[in-house]
Amino acid sequence: MAATQTLAEQLRAQGVSRRGFLKFCAATASLMALPPSLIPRIAEALEAARRPSVIWLSFQECTGCTESLTRSHAPTLEGLIFEAISLDYHHTLQAASGEAAEAARLQAMRDNAGAYLVVVDGSIPGPEANPGYSTVAGHSNHAILMETVEHAAAVIAVGTCAAFGGLPRAAPNPTGARAVMELVDDKPIVNISGCPPIPMAITGVLAHYLTFGRLPELDAYRRPLAFFGESIHDRCYRRPFYDQGLFAESFDDEGARQGWCLYRLGCKGPTTYNACATQRWNGATSWPIEAGHPCLGCSEPAFWDAGGFYQAVSVPPRVNAEALLGAGAAGAALGAGTALAARRFTRHEQQQREPVTVEALEKRL
């Protein structure tokens, strides 16, 4: 099924006219930050592009990444691109279950060997971890991932869990969670981080692959530069207030009401690279900072362990500003002290941890 229809035929089957197709190409170029002079080339390439087979693997995740992509309120560009792929395996969306579902995955791998894309959401308990932490059809996540990527053309890690380990990997990482790029080293990998990721970033990568037959330009964390090339801070509409030194100091003060910069309330915009400020959310209705909440930095590695969400980025966790200034002459000692304190804190938390059994829960209920 995947190789029988071109993308243009697929769109026509959905009632998209020639002019609608040209509009699709114009919007795709804008989505991928390509110059509009490339629209004729994009149209030509998409006319002939075959639907790629996509195998979507869900591991230690919350389904938020799939929700992000599929919960559109109206037919959208990203919806059309998503329709344009041949999604041959996806736990949540597929009708088949059990052995039939696994047979569909193996069939797609055989039919499209060397040409299919693997999309992964969720982190994976590493090879040294107990495989029982997360299994599908009785197989460990690690075994399924390695089997599926063996003949893949490329791997797209969707969401911060697949890209960097995310919440499952937060200290003390009880399941030994790992990111895809730590386990797969012989395939092209694209990370589309975010908790959840921006749907246009997912479909932008798919559209780029459909158009050019290769993956887009990436940053140091293997994220597509078209969406992760600039910081939230640099594209934030509140940036002029930062430049003027006008900050909200609490969530209900005059600065918050005036829409001033949220830096002192812990905004991670200066250290976070993502396209929320330009693409926005829910049909471009708004985004967290516009709603009055600081950026959590969810598209960056280890954001769960990067200190409190409401601590300003220049103040390290558990060390106040005065202590930092006072320790200026002994920076190295402070660094070592902070690391020691962090280890002590982790050890303390581990000692305090109380494993809960089913029996204990039943007694409480």
Instruction: Tell me the helices (H) and strands (E) count for the chain, helix number first.
Output: 18, 9
Work out which of 5, 6, 30, 94 binds other proteins, going by CB under 8 A: 30
Distance CA 352, CA 295 (A): 31
Does residue number 279 form part of the binding site for other proteins (CB under 8 A)?
no
Token pair, residue 49, equals: 């592009």
Work out which of 16, 143, 146, 306 binds other proteins, going by CB under 8 A: 16
Neighbours of 168 (CB within 10 A): 23
Site string for other proteins, 239-278 (x = CB under 8 A): ----------------------------------------
Strands (E), the chain: 53-58, 86-90, 117-121, 124-125, 135-136, 139-140, 154-158, 177-178, 189-192
Does residue number 24 form part of the binding site for other proteins (CB under 8 A)?
yes
> Residue type for 268, please?
K
Distance CA 196, CA 279 (A): 14
Neighbours of 221 (CB within 10 A): 15
Work out which of 13, 100, 106, 284 binds other proteins, going by CB under 8 A: 284
Does residue number 35 form part of the binding site for other proteins (CB under 8 A)?
yes
Across-strand partners of 89?
A: 55
Does residue number 71 form part of the binding site for other proteins (CB under 8 A)?
no
Task: Provide, rounded to whole angstroms, the least separation between the CB of residue 206 and other proteins.
Answer: 17
DSSP β-ladder status, 124-125 and 177-178: antiparallel
Closest CB to other proteins among residues 38, 170: 38
In this chain, which stretch among 72-80, 110-118, 257-265, 348-356 interacts with other proteins, using CB under 8 A? 72-80
Does residue number 45 form part of the binding site for other proteins (CB under 8 A)?
no
Closest CB to other proteins among residues 159, 216: 216
Token pair, residue 56, equals: 């979507």
Closest CB to other proteins among residues 77, 120: 77
Please tell me the count of residues contacting other proteins according to CB under 8 A. 27
Task: Provide, rounded to whole angstroms, the least separation between the CB of residue 287 and other proteins.
Answer: 14
Task: Provide, rounded to whole angstroms, the least separation between the CB of residue 274 and other proteins.
Answer: 17
Give residues 80-139 in contact with other proteins (rule: CB under 8 A). Answer: 80
Neighbours of 115 (CB within 10 A): 16
Does residue number 74 form part of the binding site for other proteins (CB under 8 A)?
yes
Distance CA 286, CA 278 (A): 10
Does residue number 19 form part of the binding site for other proteins (CB under 8 A)?
yes
Closest CB to other proteins among residues 19, 364: 19
Work out which of 3, 13, 17, 345 binds other proteins, going by CB under 8 A: 17
Task: Provide, rounded to whole angstroms, the least separation between the CB of residue 19 and other proteins.
Answer: 5
Does residue number 73 form part of the binding site for other proteins (CB under 8 A)?
yes
Contacts of 311 (CB under 8 A, 6+ apart): 266, 317
Distance CA 170, CA 151 (A): 31
8 A C-beta contact, residue 57 and residue 179 = no
Q: Is the C-alpha dihedral spanning 119, 123, 129, 134 positive or negative?
A: negative
Q: Under the rule (CB under 8 A), what is the footprint of other proteins?
A: 16-20, 22-24, 26-27, 29-31, 33, 35-37, 39-40, 73-77, 80, 283-284
